[in-house]
């Protein structure tokens, strides 16, 4: 924020952003059109992190709408990972045999400009009503092959602690559900939501993982750190997922700082996602070759705990494929293996 003050409430449209000095008034007509198409929200916590004097601010890049969002390229898809065809009941996406998504609502604390579900998410969006939520939970109860329930959305931590506790209790009571996982941006984007009541709602005997979506080290404010500490005290295991984004975390320095900051907060980096080609997001794309080289440059320099799986979610619902750098290459009679500290080793095949 320009004067270092916090807005009291999320900034939810182009005019509010201009009023806070975060976007140039000259862009207003274009940004009003963008905001009419894709939801906008910048929480006080994230607005406070933005330096409006820096045109390359990595926090601003993630949340502030940009006129280019109205230009969709031919390669971009409205539902890039094809959730639609894999929905047995409203709010459930079932693509892998052992796990399924539960989307209790489609609202988020912030609306990321690169979001792969940007055509679906929004403040009005998609809250399952009581009966729909029970039907979705009944689907999990009726499918014993599904061992893991993954709450996503939207952001499941936007639910009230009471509703969240109900979902966690019902899933925990299903003997075949061994893992409950939540994907959330709330602990960094709106840490004030992580109240004692919310942490208590997540405290269960069933293994519960929270996969935190964060893309830049600066998102780990003191309040975010406190929120993560509160969750880990409640027995929540913390994982991290990030999207590789041009201008946000596409340098070795920025990626190293992000991964190290995650770990320092007990967040184990899990996925680094290649950008999904949702409409109007082309400005964020980093070529896969560059992503692989970036990660390879960190191997050996960073604790092995920091290593995420670099993955591409294939269109048409074919799942997430690992696309990270290869260190082993087939050669005549064995494997040529590159060492992360330099050097190369030939591992001959074992004698038959």
Ligand X SMILES: *Cc1c(COP(=O)(O)O)cnc(C)c1O
Distance, CA of 58 to CA of 248 (rounded, Å): 5
Q: Fill in the per-residue mask, 69 to 108: x = in contact with ligand X (CB under 6 A), - = not in contact.
A: ------------x-----------x-xx--x-x-------
CA triple 58-114-305, angle to 5 deg: 65
Taking the least distance from each CB to ligand SF4, the nearer of 174 and 182 is 182
Q: Which of 57, 218, 276, 310 is catalytic?
A: 276
**Residue 101 binds which entry of ligand SF4, ligand X, none, with Cβ cut-offs from 5 to 8 Å by kind?**
ligand X
- The least CB distance from residue 102 to ligand SF4, in Å, is 14
- 201 lines the binding site for ligand SF4 (CB under 6 A): no
Decide if residue 273 touches ligand SF4 (CB under 6 A): no
Beta strand ranges found along 126-227 (DSSP E) = 148-151, 179-184, 207-213
Render 145-159 in DSSP notation, one character per residue: T--EEEE-SS-GGGS
Q: CA separation (Å) from 219 to 115, 161, 252, 261?
A: 17, 24, 17, 10
119 sits in which H/E element: none
| The binder of ligand SF4 chosen from 103, 181, 193, 213 (CB under 6 A) | 213
Q: Does the protein bind ligand SF4 through residue 155 (CB under 6 A)? A: yes
The binder of 238, among ligand X, ligand SF4, none, by C-beta within 5 to 8 A per type, is: none
Is 150 one of the binding residues for ligand X (CB under 6 A)?
Answer: yes
Sign of CA dihedral 138, 143, 149, 153: negative
Catalytic, 211? Answer no
Whether residue 15 lies in the annotated active site: no
Residue 112 binds to ligand SF4 (criterion: CB under 6 A) = yes
Q: Is 115 a catalytic residue?
A: yes
Q: 294 and 310 in contact (C-beta within 8 Å)?
A: no
> What's phi and psi for 226, nearest 5 deg?
-65, -40
DSSP structure class, residue 276: P
User: Token pair of 39, please?
Assistant: 């939801």
Residue 108 bears catalytic tag: yes
Concerning whether 63 is annotated as a catalytic residue, the answer is no
CA distance 125 to 111: 12
Q: How far apart are CA 84 and CA 62, in angstroms?
A: 26
Rounded least distance, CB 198 to ligand SF4, Å: 17
Site string for ligand X, 8-47 (x = CB under 6 A): ----------------------------------------
Rule CB under 6 A: is residue 271 a binding residue for ligand SF4?
Answer: no
Q: In this structure, are strands 179-184 and 99-102 parallel, antiparallel, or unpaired?
A: unpaired
Task: State the number of binding residues for ligand SF4 (CB under 6 A).
Answer: 10
Active site residues: 95-96, 99, 108, 112, 115, 117, 276, 313, 320
- Enumerate the known binding-site residues for [4Fe-4S] cluster: 108, 112, 115
């Amino acid at each position: 924020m320009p004067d270092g003050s916090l807005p009291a409430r999320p900034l939810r449209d182009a005019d509010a952003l201009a009023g806070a000095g975060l976007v140039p008034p000259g862009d207003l007509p274009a940004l009003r059109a963008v905001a009419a198409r894709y939801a906008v929200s910048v929480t006080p916590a994230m607005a406070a992190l933005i330096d409006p004097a820096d045109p390359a601010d990595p926090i601003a890049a993630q949340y502030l709408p940009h006129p280019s969002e109205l230009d969709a390229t031919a390669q971009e898809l409205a539902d890039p990972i094809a959730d639609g065809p894999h929905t047995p009941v409203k709010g459930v996406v079932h693509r892998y045999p052992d796990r399924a998504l539960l989307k209790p609502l489609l609202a988020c604390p912030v609306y990321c400009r690169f979001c792969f579900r940007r055509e679906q998410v929004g403040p009005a969006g998609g809250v399952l009503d009581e009966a729909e939520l029970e039907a979705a939970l009944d689907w999990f109860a009726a499918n014993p092959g599904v061992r893991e329930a993954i709450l996503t959305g939207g952001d499941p931590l936007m639910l009230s602690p009471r509703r969240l506790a109900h979902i966690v209790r019902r899933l925990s009571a299903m003997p075949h559900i061994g893992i409950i996982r939540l994907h959330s941006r709330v602990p960094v984007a709106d840490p004030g939501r992580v109240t004692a009541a919310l942490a208590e709602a997540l405290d269960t005997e069933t293994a519960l993982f929270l996969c935190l979506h964060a893309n830049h080290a600066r998102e780990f404010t003191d309040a975010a750190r406190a929120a993560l500490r509160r969750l880990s005290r409640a027995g929540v295991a913390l994982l991290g997922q990030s999207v590789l984004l041009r201008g946000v975390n596409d340098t070795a320095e920025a990626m190293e700082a992000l991964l190290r900051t995650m770990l320092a907060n007990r967040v184990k980096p899990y996925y680094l996602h290649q950008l999904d080609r949702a409409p109007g997001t082309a400005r964020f794309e980093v070529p896969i070759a560059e992503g692989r080289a970036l990660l390879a440059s960190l191997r050996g320099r960073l604790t092995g705990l920091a290593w995420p799986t670099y993955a591409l979610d294939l269109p048409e619902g074919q799942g997430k494929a690992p696309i990270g750098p290869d260190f082993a290459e087939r050669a005549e009679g064995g494997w040529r293996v590159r060492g992360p500290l330099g050097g190369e080793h030939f591992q001959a095949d074992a004698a038959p």
